Chain A
Amino acid sequence: MNQVFDKAEGISMAVDSGSRRSAESGEVDMQANIPSATVGKVFVDHAKMAIRNVDVFYGEKQAIHNVSLDIRKNEVIAMIGPSGCGKSTFLRTLNRMNDTIPTCLVKGTIELDGNDIYDKKLDVVSLRARVGMVFQKPNPFPKSIYDNVAYGAKIHGLCSSRIELDEVVETSLKKAGLWSEVKDRLNQPGTGLSGGQQQRLCIARAIAVSPEVILMDEPCSALDPIATAKIEELIAELSENYTIAIVTHSMQQAARVSNRTAYFHLGYLVEVNDTEMVFTNPEHSLTEAYITGRFG
């Protein structure tokens, strides 16, 4: 199993360089076979977020083509696909983080509990309080561990007293599985923690504002296997209370942590289905080619 994935990594490097040359097996053409509509189980009942016909442009270049998808409440949905397939871009449209890129343009509708998040009336600040984000590289503020976690609650005015704030910090750190490791040094800088601890601190910071959805953009790509295992465990625990969308490069990770998996390819959403289905019985030939490591 491992060997297959190693190979997949190697090939992804070749594809990264932008060439359209066929992969080792020679048969799969990257451009061909893209379905006109996403195959698999795209729509679900009780959708937390409903994405309909979303196109994303960076200036002239179109990064996302006509993606429709439902995210169910309290599920973990993994987004996989080769580098540059638009999965990170797609994730960032879900809490409007791509607003910060001036040339970025989003078309279509994205609804959170039935409200369009790109509606002018909806404030981006409250959106991001409801849809939190954890980034690829751990990015704690250069402040104390306590202040890192308390920051969100402070700016949103969630706590009226110091005691309440202490409580929020403690529960958030406990939920992130970091409390026992840092409870004696809450006043030390968050940047002094190890990489894995930093990432869990960032997760604690995100859940301190009690979001409904947590977006994770390759949260383990900078971490060693032990730290990764801890984060994966944490994701499983968090999914009881939160809806989680995670972008990952590791197919094992997607298989381990997610309920559903979405496969992106060159800006198209090719296939969405229950994770087990995607990895054991993919419907589309591109998905199959990717998970069997025929291209990265």
Chain B
Amino acid sequence: MNKMSTIEKIEKGLKRRYFSERLFQIFGISSIVFGLLCLVVLLTDIVGKGHGAFFQHYIRLTVVLDAEKLGIDDRATSEQIAMADYDSVIRESLLELFPDVSGRKQKKQLYRLVSDGATYRLQGMLAEDRRLLGQRVDVWVSADDDVDVYLKHVDAEKEASSRIDEQQALWLAALQAQGRIEKRFNSEFFMTGDSRNPEKAGIKGALMGSFYTLMVTLLLSFPIGVAAAVYLEEFAPKNRWTDLIEVNINNLAAVPSIIFGLLGLAVFINFFGVPRSVPLVGGMVLTLMTLPTIIISSRAAIKSVPPSIREAALGIGASKMQTVTHHVLPLSLPGMLTGTIIGMAQALGETAPLLMIGMIAFIVDVPQGITDPSTVLPVQIFLWADSPERAFTEKTSGAIIVLLGFLIFMNAVAVFLRKRLEKKW
């Protein structure tokens, strides 16, 4: 009896079947592990480098707000306070701490321990409370970026090639011994715009720029994209023209983004005269870029609504429009939101098209609206990564963390909305 029974045949093949199944599982697991590993390495690197950007060393100075030295007379007008010579009182207080320092060169080295921003700090204090005039006050001012970098890395021996010389290091050690140096949370990083001085440079300008740009993008691309998708799916006749439009939309999704930037430059700025470097034009360009993504995903979402629901609505006499607005749209909204969030995430990380419309400019002021010149987070990261000062290294990573945080926040809102809207049938 050579003939095997069916059961025997099946059992013979079983081992091989299970083997290939296990093999496939191993492949799957290892690729997931690899992906996770890359993510962990990336995140630890960024957080490791970037967390320093959220902290800053401050030096406590005891300054005498001497009216005469500041050049403020009895009237103490706002103008006088704004124009006063704060540098001299700061220098004085430093010299008071280290009376031995002499010689122009050494003094200059001493003065360099404190950030240029210290004058604004004093000015702000005086503007708030004029009674401080003539008094002796303790004030925490931020340390210079070189000092900050030095202090952050002073424990690690390899950082010897710092821009702080031995003399300055001794002064800093003395200040530390007196408890005049403190590392604090750098709230200024989130409160100010860009600056040439790393210790004064903040992310808020770029953050607000990104926010306004994305608002413009969302407000334009979501309604336009959904309207286009609904029309193409539900109303448009199926003929050669709509086929052509569909092919074109799919192709647009694959166009390199810098092309959209060129288009924006030529059409929005040069032809329509929209001002350059503003979130309005940035949002318009990014709208062009995200539209195909939103249209394609919205169409897929509309297609996935079971036709029986449409029939049910039409069958009791709902008009085409009512069928769409009462049934098709609510059911496809979660899918549309998914597509929109993918598009928005893409737009948030986009740099190339914005370079073409001037959003790469160095802008100090925090934009107050969609028509103020501004830059966006990825461009800010690029600008900082390109800056020579060492302190900008950690600012760059800090900005990346902020960008990722922004992205996570945006996605979380979308996921929340989708969960609220999702219905089962």
- CB A173 to nearest CB in B, in angstroms, measures 15
Contact in complex: A152, B424 (CB < 8 Å): no
Q: How far is the CA of A139 from the CA of B310 in the complex (A)?
A: 9
Taking CB atoms, residues of chain B closer than 8 Å to A102 are 237-238
Residue in A100, A142, A152 whose beta carbon sits within 8 Å of that of B316 in the complex: A152
A137 beta carbon closer than 8 Å to chain B: yes
Q: Scan A122-142; emit 1 where CB is below 8 A from any B CB, else 0.
A: 000111110011110101111
Q: How far is the CA of A196 from the CA of B143 in the complex (A)?
A: 77
Residue in B311, B315, B317 whose beta carbon sits within 8 Å of that of A155 in the complex: B317
Q: Scan A194-215; emit 1 where CB is below 8 A from any B CB, else 0.
A: 0000000010011011000000
Contact in complex: B315, A128 (CB < 8 Å): yes
From A143, which residue of chain B is reached at the shortest CB distance? B423
A93 beta carbon closer than 8 Å to chain B: no
Q: Scan B310-335; emit 1 where CB is below 8 A from any A CB, else 0.
A: 11111111110010001100010000
Q: How far is the CA of A125 from the CA of B322 in the complex (A)?
A: 11
Taking CB atoms, residues of chain A closer than 8 Å to B266 are none
Answer whether A142 and B424 are a contact pair too, CB < 8 Å, given A102-B238, A126-B317: yes
Contact in complex: B238, A128 (CB < 8 Å): no
Contact in complex: A206, B315 (CB < 8 Å): yes
Residue in B315, B319, B326 whose beta carbon sits within 8 Å of that of A133 in the complex: B315
Residue in B313, B314, B317, B322 whose beta carbon sits within 8 Å of that of A141 in the complex: B313
- CB A233 to nearest CB in B, in angstroms, measures 23
> What total of A-B pairs shows CB separation below 8 Å?
73
Taking CB atoms, residues of chain B closer than 8 Å to A156 are 317
Taking CB atoms, residues of chain A closer than 8 Å to B318 are 125, 151-152, 155
Residue in B313, B319, B322, B424 whose beta carbon sits within 8 Å of that of A191 in the complex: B424
Q: How far is the CA of A205 from the CA of B314 in the complex (A)?
A: 12
Chain B residues within CB distance 8 Å of chain A? 237-238, 306, 308-319, 322, 326-327, 331, 423-425
Known: A125-B318, A128-B316, A189-B423. 18 other contacts (CB 8 A): A97-B315, A100-B311, A102-B238, A125-B319, A127-B317, A139-B306, A139-B308, A139-B309, A140-B425, A141-B309, A142-B309, A151-B313, A151-B316, A152-B316, A152-B318, A189-B424, A209-B316, A209-B317
Chain A residues within CB distance 8 Å of chain B? 95, 97, 100, 102, 125-129, 132-135, 137, 139-142, 151-152, 155-156, 189, 191, 202, 205-206, 208-209
